[in-house]
Amino acid sequence: MQHFILRCKHCQKEYTYCTYGNGPDYGTEEGCSMEYCAECQKAIDKAFSAIPIKFKPERKEIKEPLLLELFSKIREEEQQKKKEEEEKNKIRFPVICSSTDPDNYDNIETYIHKNKKYQVKWNDETPDKKHLFVFMEYDILKGQFTKRPWRYEKKDSYSFHRNAWKMMLKPLTENDTKPIPVEPMSMPTGNLFFWDWDLTQQKREPFVYAPKQPQHVIQIHTSEATGEGVRQTVKHGWYQTKVKLAKGVTVKNLIDFVDYKYTYEKYDDEDIATITKIECV
C-alpha cells in the first residue's frame, strides 16, 4: 500500500491518493484518482456516464498468407534471439501459458506490428491450419466492425502462449496412464552421518543483561524537518528530551513548508538537546 501526495490536474487542489483503496478507512477522499481529486473525478464520471462507450477492440479473422509469412520470419528471429540469450546467460525461459482463449485454440501467438495487434492460432491436431486474427475497431452502437484497425501505441513485439485451460480438459492418452518404469538402485551402504555430542558436558554461564550506562560525552547529530516541524520540535521537544536553541539561533523566520537541516548537541547522560545551526536543504 502506497500513499501519494498529488495535485489535481483540473482544480489544482493537493490531495492524497492511496494505491490500495480510497476513502475514510485509508485516510483519503473517496473517489479520487491518480489524475484528479475526488470532487473533479466524480464530476468527470457523472458527465461521462451520460455518454455511452461507442467503440471497442474486437478480434476479426482475416485471410492473408503474406502476413503469415512475415510473422513466421519474425517468430524465427525472436526464437533465435531467445536461444542466444539462453546460451549466453546459461538459463532457460519457461513457456508462458495463458489461462483461457476465447476462441479455444491450443496455441496462440500475439504480434504487435506497426501499431496493429495480430494473433495467429492453431490446434495441436492441425498445426498446418493456422488462423489469423486482427483487432479491429468495433462499433458497439451499430453492432458491426468499422474498416479501421484498433491502434496500439506499443513497440513491435512477439509472444507465444499455450491454452492451459484446454490442456487440462484434454483426456489422458494411453501413454499418460502407463506406470513409470522402475529404475534400478544401488544397495544401501549403511554409512550414515552422525554427530556424537554429549549435551550434558556443555556448560553455559547464565546471561545477565547489564544496561549500558550513559556517559557524560557530547554527541553531535543532524536531522531534517520543515520549518513547522522545527518549531514544533523546539516547542514540545522529544520523548524525555527538552530542546532549546543556542545563542543567536532563532526559528521565528522559518517558513512552514520549506525543508531545513538542523544540527543539535546532546550529552548522553542528559535530557536536554541544543540546536546550534539551522540551514535550508
Q: Looking at residue 218, what is its pLDDT?
A: 92
Q: Looking at residue 209, what is its pLDDT?
A: 74
Contact 134, 62 (CB under 8 A): yes
pTM of the full predicted structure?
Answer: 0.54
Q: Where are the alpha helices (DSSP H) in 113-249?
A: 164-169, 174-177, 227-236
Domain ranges of the chain: 3-49, 56-169, 218-280
Contact 135, 59 (CB under 8 A): yes
Q: Looking at residue 194, what is its pLDDT?
A: 65
Residues of the chain with pLDDT under 50: none
Checking 41-47 for CB contacts under 8 A at 24+ apart, the result is none
The residues near 92 (Cβ < 8 Å, ≥ 6 apart) are 86
Write the Ramachandran bin of 104: left for phi over 0, alpha for psi from -120 to 50, otherwise beta. left
